[in-house]
Structure formats: C-alpha cells, structure tokens
C-alpha cells in the first residue's frame, strides 16, 4: 500500500471518498508506454461497484499502451481555492484528491460492458434517453472514426489513497 507522508492530510472517510468519486466527472489516467515513457490523459469515468470504468474508441494510443502494460494510476481531484495566511510560506490550497493504483482491464463481458456504459450515459446525461442502452446496440455500434467496438476498461483498485485540505471559510483568499 502506498503511504502518504503528510499524514495530517490523509482522508480516511470511505463514504466521503466514494461520494467524491461518484460525483466528479473527469480523472487522469496515467500509463507507461514501452520503454518507460509516461502517458497521462484526462478521461470521463464512472465509479460504480467500487470500480472505475472508462470508455473510448476501440483504437488509439490509450488502447495501444494498455495492450502492452495494464498497470495504471488513476487520479481524481478538485481544488477549492487558496487558503490565505499572514506568512506567505504558510498559504495553502484547499482540495480533495484520490489516487487509485490498479490494472485497466478490458471489459469483454457484454452485460457488464452494457451496464457500465448505461452508468456512464446516466451520469453525464441523466434522464436524457427514454430507454437505456441495449446490449445489441453496444455489441453492434461502431464509430464513424473507427471500425472497432467501443472499448470499456475497468480499474479495480489495488490501492487507493485520499488526501484533503478542507475549506477553511474564515481564511479563504477572496482576491
């Protein structure tokens, strides 16, 4: 397990972490290409069943990198503003961040893939569609940019850490 050195900032509130991951819309998927070159890309995601699901075209750099190395780091954060202090070196940032380590595995099971995509659609466009995605649609759909099926990856956390510096209303900078 990764250890946070600044223990004062550890967020151990599981409900708060889960709610945060469910509410946020974008995370950064960090991967490592062959040869050790890092590659990080912001992605829309859904946190469902204690797992992170991402999707995208069936081809592209993300897919190429993950085909070779499935080990990832997924980061979600929100910055709430600057905490002022009379001493410049003690000014700080209010934030909450979650870092997840795991493997991004392609979701091959059509039922799980469909359910994950339903969760994503409902998160980003709640109640927009009258009927949920059908498995047959997911199975047959191809983008005009790509002749491959939509890719869905699942990241089951092997390790999860969370840090926070809560908002201190009395000391927030209001420049």
The tens digit of pLDDT for each residue in 17-63 reads: 999 999 999 999 999 998 899 999 999 999 999 999 999 888 889 99
Phi, psi of 66 (to 5 degrees): -70, -25
Distance CA 77, CA 162 (A): 9
User: What pLDDT was estimated at residue 2?
Assistant: 63
The tens digit of pLDDT for each residue in 50-70 reads: 999 999 888 889 999 999 999
Residue from 32, 81, 67, 62 nearest 146 by CA: 62
In terms of residue numbers, what domain contains 73? 7-167
Q: Which long-range contacts (CB under 8 A, 24 or more apart) does 15-24 make?
A: 16/96, 17/98, 17/160, 17/162, 18/47, 18/50, 20/76, 20/78, 20/96, 20/98, 20/162, 21/47, 21/52, 21/76, 21/98, 22/46, 22/47, 24/76, 24/78
- Is residue 175, in this structure, part of any structural domain at all? no
Report whether pLDDT(13) > 90.
Answer: yes
Total tally of structural domains belonging to the chain = 1
Q: Which two tokens stand for residue 60?
A: 């592209």
Mean pLDDT along residues 74-95:
94
Distance CA 33, CA 38 (A): 6
Residue corresponding to tokens 């979650």: 98
- Is residue 1, in this structure, part of any structural domain at all? no
- Is residue 75, in this structure, part of any structural domain at all? yes
pLDDT band at 12 (very low <50, low <70, confident <90, very high): very high
Please report, rounded to a whole number, the percentage of residues in the chain having pLDDT higher than 70.
Answer: 99
- What average pLDDT is seen over the chain? 92
- Is residue 135, in this structure, part of any structural domain at all? yes
Non-local CB neighbours of 155 within 8 Å, separated by 6+ positions: 51, 52, 53, 54, 72, 74, 100, 102, 103, 104, 105
- Is residue 37, in this structure, part of any structural domain at all? yes
Residue corresponding to tokens 């809560």: 166
Report whether pLDDT(1) > 60.
Answer: no
- Is residue 174, in this structure, part of any structural domain at all? no
The tens digit of pLDDT for each residue in 111-143 reads: 999 999 999 999 999 999 999 889 988 888 877
- Is residue 80, in this structure, part of any structural domain at all? yes
- Is residue 106, in this structure, part of any structural domain at all? yes
User: What pLDDT was estimated at residue 57?
Assistant: 85
Is the pTM higher than 0.75? Answer: yes
Number of neighbouring beta carbons within 10 Å of residue 1: 8
CATH code (residue 116): 2.30.110.10
């Amino acid at each position: 397990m990764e250890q946070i050195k600044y223990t004062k900032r550890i967020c151990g509130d599981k409900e708060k972490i889960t709610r945060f991951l469910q509410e946020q819309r974008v995370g950064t998927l960090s991967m490592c290409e062959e040869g050790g070159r890092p590659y990080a890309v912001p992605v829309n995601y859904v946190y469902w069943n204690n797992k992170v699901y991402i999707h995208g075209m069936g081809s592209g750099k993300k897919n190429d990198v993950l085909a070779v190395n499935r080990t990832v780091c997924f980061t979600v954060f929100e910055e709430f503003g600057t905490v002022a202090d009379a001493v410049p070196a003690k000014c700080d940032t209010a934030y909450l961040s979650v870092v997840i380590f795991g493997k991004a595995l392609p979701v091959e099971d059509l039922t799980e893939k469909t359910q994950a995509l339903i969760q994503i659609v409902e998160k980003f466009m709640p109640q927009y569609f009258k009927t949920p995605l059908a498995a047959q649609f997911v199975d047959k759909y191809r983008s005009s940019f790509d002749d491959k099926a939509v890719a869905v990856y699942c990241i089951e956390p092997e390790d999860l850490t969370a840090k926070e510096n809560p908002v201190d209303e009395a000391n927030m900078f209001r420049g």
